[in-house]
Chains A and B, each alone.
Chain A
Amino acid sequence: MDIMQDAGPLRRIGAMLLRHYYLMRSSPTRIFDLMYWPLLQMIVWGFITVFFVRHSSWLVQASGVLIGAVLLWDVLVRSQFGMTLSLLEEMWSRNLANLFVSPLRPAEFAGALMVLSMFRSLLGVVPAALLAIPLFAYSIFDLGLPLIAFWAILLMFGWGVGLVIAAALTRFGLAAESYAWASIFILAPISGVYYPVDVLPGWLRAVSWAMPSTYVFEGMRAVMIDHVFRWNLVGPALVLNVVYLALGIMLFLAAFRSARERGQLLHAGE
Chain B
Amino acid sequence: MLEPVIKVEHLTKRFKDVAAVDDVSFSIARGITTALLGGNGAGKTTTIGMLLGLIVPTAGTITILGEDMLRHRHRVLPRLNFSSPYVDFPNRLKVRENLMVFAQLYGVRDAGGRIRELAADLDLGELLDKKTGSLSSGQKTRVSLAKALLNRPKILFLDEPTASLDPDTADWIRTYLERYQRATGASILLASHNMAEVERLCQDVLMMKAGRIVDRGTPSELLSRYGRANLEDVFLDIARSRRAEAAAQ
B90 touching A102, Cβ below 8 Å? no
Interface residues of A in 1-24 (CB under 8 A from B): 3-8, 11-12, 14-16, 18-19, 22-23
Contact residues on B (Cβ < 8 Å of other chain), bracket: 35 or more
A4 touching B88, Cβ below 8 Å? no
Number of interface residues of A (CB under 8 A): 40
Interface residues of A in 149-172 (CB under 8 A from B): none
Most B-side CB within 10 Å, residue of A14, A90, A99, A102 = A102
The 8 A CB mask of B103-117 against A (1 = contact, 0 = none) is 011111110001000
Given contacts A4-B151, A26-B93, A27-B92, contact A97 B104 (CB under 8 A): no
Given contacts A100-B54, A103-B74, contact A93 B80 (CB under 8 A): no
The 8 A CB mask of B96-108 against A (1 = contact, 0 = none) is 0100111011111
CB distance from B80 to the nearest CB of A (A): 7
Q: Which A residues touch B131, using CB under 8 A?
A: 26
> Who on chain A is nearest to B81 by CB?
A101
B78 touching A103, Cβ below 8 Å? yes
In the assembled complex, B35 has its CB within 8 A of some CB on chain A? no
B15 touching A265, Cβ below 8 Å? no
Contacting B105 at CB < 8 Å: which of A89, A94, A102?
A102
Q: Which B residues touch A269, using CB under 8 A?
A: 88
In the assembled complex, B244 has its CB within 8 A of some CB on chain A? no
Q: Which B residues touch A267, using CB under 8 A?
A: 86
In the assembled complex, A95 has its CB within 8 A of some CB on chain B? yes
Contacting A257 at CB < 8 Å: which of B56, B101, B106, B107?
B56
Q: Which A residues touch B152, using CB under 8 A?
A: 3-4
Contacting A4 at CB < 8 Å: which of B13, B49, B94, B108?
B108
CB distance from A127 to the nearest CB of B (A): 23
> Who on chain A is nearest to B50 by CB?
A263
A98 touching B107, Cβ below 8 Å? no
Contacting B80 at CB < 8 Å: which of A19, A98, A101?
A101
B88 touching A93, Cβ below 8 Å? yes
In the assembled complex, A266 has its CB within 8 A of some CB on chain B? yes
CB distance from A130 to the nearest CB of B (A): 28
In the assembled complex, A227 has its CB within 8 A of some CB on chain B? no
In the assembled complex, B91 has its CB within 8 A of some CB on chain A? yes
- The CA-CA distance from A260 to B138 in the complex, in Å, is 29
B56 touching A260, Cβ below 8 Å? yes
Q: Which B residues touch A266, using CB under 8 A?
A: 45, 49, 54-55, 86-87
Interface residues of B in 66-93 (CB under 8 A from A): 74, 77-78, 80-82, 84, 86-93
- The CA-CA distance from A23 to B74 in the complex, in Å, is 27
B94 touching A26, Cβ below 8 Å? yes
A8 touching B100, Cβ below 8 Å? no
Most A-side CB within 10 Å, residue of B53, B87, B93, B108 = B87
- The CA-CA distance from A89 to B100 in the complex, in Å, is 18
Q: Which B residues touch A260, using CB under 8 A?
A: 53-56
Residues of B within 8 A of A (CB): 13, 15, 20, 45-46, 49, 52-56, 74, 77-78, 80-82, 84, 86-94, 97, 100-102, 104-110, 114, 131, 147, 151-152, 157
13 A-B residue pairs with CB within 8 Å: A3-B109, A4-B107, A4-B109, A7-B105, A11-B104, A16-B105, A19-B90, A22-B97, A98-B102, A101-B80, A102-B102, A103-B77, A265-B55
Residues of A within 8 A of B (CB): 3-8, 11-12, 14-16, 18-19, 22-23, 26-27, 89-90, 93-95, 97-105, 257, 260-263, 265-267, 269
Q: A3-B114, A4-B106, A101-B54 are in contact. List 11 more A-B contacts (CB 8 A).
A: A4-B108, A6-B107, A11-B107, A12-B104, A14-B104, A22-B93, A93-B88, A97-B87, A99-B105, A103-B77, A105-B74
